[in-house]
Amino acid sequence: MNILIFGPNGSGKGTQGAVVQKKYGIPHIETGVIFRQNISKKTPLGEKAKAFIDRGELVPDDITIPMILDRLKEDDAKKGWLLDGFPRNLAQAEALWKALESEKIELDYVIEIDLDRDSAKKRIMGRRLCKMDNNHPNNIYIDAIKPHEHEGKTVCRVCNCEDLTTRADDQDAAAIDKRHGIYYDTKTGTLAAVNYFKERTKIVSVDGRVGVKEVSEALLKQLS
Ligand code: AMP
């Protein structure tokens, strides 16, 4: 099973990706993770990519495309793959499609988690971390997981602990806007890549506005 998964930052793509990976038992190949591993190991690839990543820009295609096409040739990917974070623009989509065609590899599904830009931004900026447990999701903008108010204080909705915190990069509106600018660009950006596949293969589109469980259910219903 060969699958691509798309969704803006803040859409819950990582969580849903894990659900899909579990269903099929295929490797979850995330470009961002590969870059970060290379940066921490200080490999030549990591050294080249670091400056772009630090600026919130895409790593150039001549570095990213061969890296991913090579990764798809590794042994564990023979049984299939879930590709996450690639393609991120139209040029990468075209290169991937060409490579798949020439290797006669079928693309089974393209998953799109659909979420408007404003909601995606709120999802990120509203995220609150529970001091006791990061698996206690709280978000001041999502009713289903809104932190509770207790004696005038905002507390974790699961364990009632005080002092919910934010992640610094979640509060960086300019960085979020930059990433979303690339994602929502329908001319050459990530949505242009999604539209490219819409004309060529099966798209499974799910509404990302609902809760995590509902998105998973909608997704699994459409995947055979
Ligand atoms: P992510 O963890 O997916 O948000 O990726 C982190 C960073 O890695 C991005 O902000 C980009 O700088 C870089 N990156 C990830 N995927 C790609 C890609 N397909 N093309 C170019 N750069 C990428």
pLDDT digits (tens, 9 = 90+) for 162-172: 989 998 888 99
The token duo for 204 is 């499974």
Indicate the residue type of 12.
Answer: G
φ/ψ (deg, to 5) at 36 = -65, -40
Report the nearest atom of ligand 1 relative to the CA of 60: 21
Using the structure block, give the residue that is written with the tokens 């590969």.
34
Pocket test for ligand 1, best of 9, 39, 53 (most atoms within 8 A of CB): 53
- Closest Cα partner for 151 from 160, 141, 138? 160
- DSSP letter (8 states) at residue 62: H
Distance of alpha carbon 125 from alpha carbon 173, whole angstroms: 8
Q: Is the CB of 2 under 6 A from ligand 1?
A: no
195 within a domain of the structure (yes/no) = yes
Q: Looking at the whole model, is its pTM more than 0.85?
A: yes
208 within a domain of the structure (yes/no) = yes
Q: Is the CB of 88 under 6 A from ligand 1?
A: yes
- Mean pLDDT, the chain cut into blocks of 10 residues (224 residues total): 96 91 94 92 94 92 93 94 96 96 94 97 93 84 88 93 88 94 98 96 94 92 92
Residue 22 CA, chain-centre distance (Å), reads 16
Which residues lie closer than 8 Å to 203 by C-beta, 6 or more apart? 109, 110, 111, 112, 194, 197
CATH number of the domain within which 192 lies: 3.40.50.300
- Is-cis flag, bond preceding 87, omega within 30? yes
Report the nearest atom of ligand 1 relative to the CA of 9: 4
Q: Is the CB of 5 under 6 A from ligand 1?
A: no
The answer to whether 91 and 128 have CB atoms below 8 angstroms apart is no
Pocket test for ligand 1, best of 6, 11, 30, 31 (most atoms within 8 A of CB): 31
185 within a domain of the structure (yes/no) = yes
Tell me what pLDDT residue 78 has: 92
Tell me what pLDDT residue 15 has: 86
Q: Is the CB of 58 under 6 A from ligand 1?
A: yes
98 within a domain of the structure (yes/no) = yes
Q: Is the CB of 7 under 6 A from ligand 1?
A: no
Tell me what pLDDT residue 142 has: 84
Distance of alpha carbon 124 from alpha carbon 116, whole angstroms: 13
135 within a domain of the structure (yes/no) = no
Distance of alpha carbon 130 from alpha carbon 149, whole angstroms: 14
Q: Is the CB of 64 under 6 A from ligand 1?
A: yes
Tell me which residue range forms the domain holding 14: 2-117+181-223
Phi-psi region of 106 (alpha: psi -120 to 50; beta: other; left: phi over 0): beta
CA of 49 to the centre of ligand 1 (A): 9
- DSSP letter (8 states) at residue 136: S
Q: For the chain, how many structural domains are there in total?
A: 1
